Amino acid sequence: MEQLNLRHLYYFWVISREGSIARASEVLELAPQTLSGQLATFEASVGGRLFSRERRQLILTDLGRLVLGYADDIFVLTGELSETLRLAPSDRPLTLRAGISASIHKLIAYHLLQPAMAGERPVQLECQTGRTEDLVLSLKRKELDVILTDYMPKVQDDGNLTVHPLAGSSISLFAAPGLAGQLRDNFPESLNDQPLLANAVDAPYFERLMKWFSLNGVRMNLVARIDDSALIKVFGSQGYGVFAAPTAIQEEVCRQYEVERIASIDEVMDELFAITRDRRISHEGVRAICRTQPVDARFLPR
């Protein structure tokens, strides 16, 4: 079968739904003999009978049930497409395919995406997380509309990609309430020999934090490297150690994970960028992301 005849598939689908060729012929406004011939042609093309007759009723064969499953998916989607195309262009959902660096905190990613979701036009959001380098390849293949990252990739020499600085936030340290209370006094010396939960996805801000520790003579005890920002916070909430997160989301972190802030480190910044294919942005959602700075005053616009 080199090519499936979708018209024949549609005829088969209507016959299956109506339960007989006679009723289907009325729906399709075709003569029963014509419809029967079209069904026979389709059965020949798929290599088997789609219906068997039992007491003058059409019963789907195993092959028929298999084909019907695919036909249901195809024609339900076709119906949804028809309904969408009837809408005015401004009312049609806007698909936004965003790549998000795995090292970005999920709360930060939400804040960056929220301007695109808050517009008048409905948005169908598709998110893909991964390494920035891999996401850049997907962006070049036009599989993504925008990348949100805290890592400046080497795209300066690529004339087809544009980096848009978004915002930055200082970094704060958090821990379970009991541990946080002990470490606030005599900070940062109080951190020496204390348990540290590290980000395992090479987040740039974590590298800067390690340098800040070194410059200030702080040596912590690394107890875990975790590549999921939410899981780091869960371990921290259970008293397993100190973890870092952007100051901009400190209220949500403390409320959601029942931890407390130890201190903020203004010298260590989490910088955020959007990457697009072209300097001139045509996508409404991407424009909203790149144009709107976070309103939280704890973000520091670049």
Please tell me the predicted confidence (pLDDT) of residue 295: 36
- pLDDT greater than 70 at residue 229: yes
- pLDDT greater than 90 at residue 302: no
Name the more confident of 10 and 277: 10
Domain match, 277 and 143 both: yes
Domain match, 25 and 139 both: no
Domain match, 169 and 67 both: no
Residue 71, domain extent: 6-86
CA distance 160 to 96: 19
46: domain CATH number is 1.10.10.10
Strand partners, 130: 101
Please tell me the predicted confidence (pLDDT) of residue 187: 95
- pLDDT greater than 90 at residue 170: yes
Domain limit, last residue, from 41, 63, 86:
86
Please tell me the predicted confidence (pLDDT) of residue 84: 62
Q: What is the mean pLDDT of residues 83-91?
A: 64
Q: What is the mean pLDDT of residues 134-162?
A: 82
Query: Looking at the domain assignment, is residue 67 inside a domain?
Result: yes
Q: Are 23 and 47 in contact (CB under 8 A)?
A: no
Q: Are 8 and 41 in contact (CB under 8 A)?
A: yes
205: domain CATH number is 3.40.190.290
Query: Looking at the domain assignment, is residue 1 inside a domain?
Result: no
pLDDT in tens, 241-294: 999 999 999 999 999 999 999 999 999 999 899 999 877 788 888 989 988 554
Helix, strand and coil percent figures for the chain, each rounded to 5: 45, 25, 30
Distances (CA, A) of 205 to 59, 75, 128, 224: 64, 49, 21, 17
Query: Looking at the domain assignment, is residue 200 inside a domain?
Result: yes
CA distance 101 to 124: 20
- Token readout for 196 is 């540290």
Query: Looking at the domain assignment, is residue 284 inside a domain?
Result: yes
Amino acid at 125: L
Query: What is the number of structural domains in the chain?
Result: 2
3-state secondary structure of 11: helix
Position 95 confidence tier, pLDDT thresholds 50, 70, 90: confident
CA distance 280 to 215: 42
Domain match, 71 and 146 both: no
Domain match, 46 and 178 both: no
Domain match, 54 and 149 both: no
CA atoms within 13 A on the CB side of 223: 15
Query: Looking at the domain assignment, is residue 66 inside a domain?
Result: yes
268 contact partners, CB below 8 Å, separation of at least 6 = 170, 171, 205, 208, 209, 212
pLDDT in tens, 279-293: 778 888 898 998 855
Domain match, 47 and 147 both: no
Please tell me the predicted confidence (pLDDT) of residue 155: 61
Domain match, 166 and 60 both: no
Q: What is the mean pLDDT of residues 129-158?
A: 84
Please tell me the predicted confidence (pLDDT) of residue 92: 61
- Token readout for 29 is 């406004």
Domain match, 80 and 106 both: no
pLDDT in tens, 208-221: 999 999 999 999 99
Query: Looking at the domain assignment, is residue 76 inside a domain?
Result: yes
Query: Looking at the domain assignment, is residue 169 inside a domain?
Result: yes
pLDDT averaged over every residue in the chain: 86
Nearest to 145 by CA among 285, 271, 279: 285
Domain match, 134 and 258 both: yes
Q: Are 72 and 10 in contact (CB under 8 A)?
A: no
- pLDDT greater than 80 at residue 81: no
Would you say how long the chain is, in residues?
302
pTM (whole model) above 0.75:
no
Domain limit, last residue, from 69, 86, 103:
86
Domain match, 30 and 154 both: no
Query: Looking at the domain assignment, is residue 152 inside a domain?
Result: yes
Position 297 confidence tier, pLDDT thresholds 50, 70, 90: very low
- Token readout for 167 is 């915002």
* Angle, CA of 252, 257 and 263, to the nearest 5°: 70
Please tell me the predicted confidence (pLDDT) of residue 263: 96
Domain limit, last residue, from 86, 104, 128:
86
Position 120 confidence tier, pLDDT thresholds 50, 70, 90: confident
Find the helix or strand (DSSP H, E) in which 20 lies. Answer: none
Please tell me the predicted confidence (pLDDT) of residue 156: 54
Domain match, 125 and 240 both: yes
Of the candidate ranges 146-160, 198-212, 224-238, 258-272, the one whose mean pLDDT is the lowest: 146-160
pLDDT in tens, 14-50: 999 898 899 999 999 999 999 999 999 999 999 899 9
